[in-house]
Amino acid sequence: MHYTVVERELELRLILSPERGIPVPARLSYRTDDPYAVHIAFHINSEHPVDWTFSRELLVEGVFRPSGNGDVRVWPTKTEGRSVVLMALSSPDGDALLEAPAAQVSAWLERTLRVVPPGTEGEQLGIDGALDQLLAR
């Protein structure tokens, strides 16, 4: 089965304190075979990247207003006059607050929305066709 991948490399900032942060290279990925999700791989000082997967809708909403609860929260803000998107990630291994350039995240999200417009994600999965085949028997 053929599917499309939309990726973007960018540098995020891991916020350690209000005055201090460190750069974290990351890759945003969206795949049409998993149309409801976005994937972020953080390339930290380890052999394997740290991967997070969450709702594309949560990230789209988080670019404009606070979104999410629990393990993933996203919201827009300004830092030193720049528009950024903050992502708070929580897991049993710890918590992280990451800052991403809003323009780069928004441009990448727009590409994903052109590939699979909102509301058409289910069509990518072929569920209707599979149900039709199943019920036709």
pLDDT tens digits, 56-86: 999 999 999 999 988 999 999 998 899 999 9
CB 73 within 8 A of CB 122: no
**pTM of this structure:** 0.84
CA distance 31 to 125: 11
Q: According to the model, what pLDDT value does residue 121 have?
A: 78
Q: According to the model, what pLDDT value does residue 99 have?
A: 97
47: which residues sit within 8 A by CB, 6+ positions away?
A: none
Considering only residues 130 and 50, tell me which one the structure prediction assigns the higher pLDDT: 50
* pLDDT one-digit tens code per residue, 14-48: 999 988 999 999 999 999 999 999 999 998 767 78
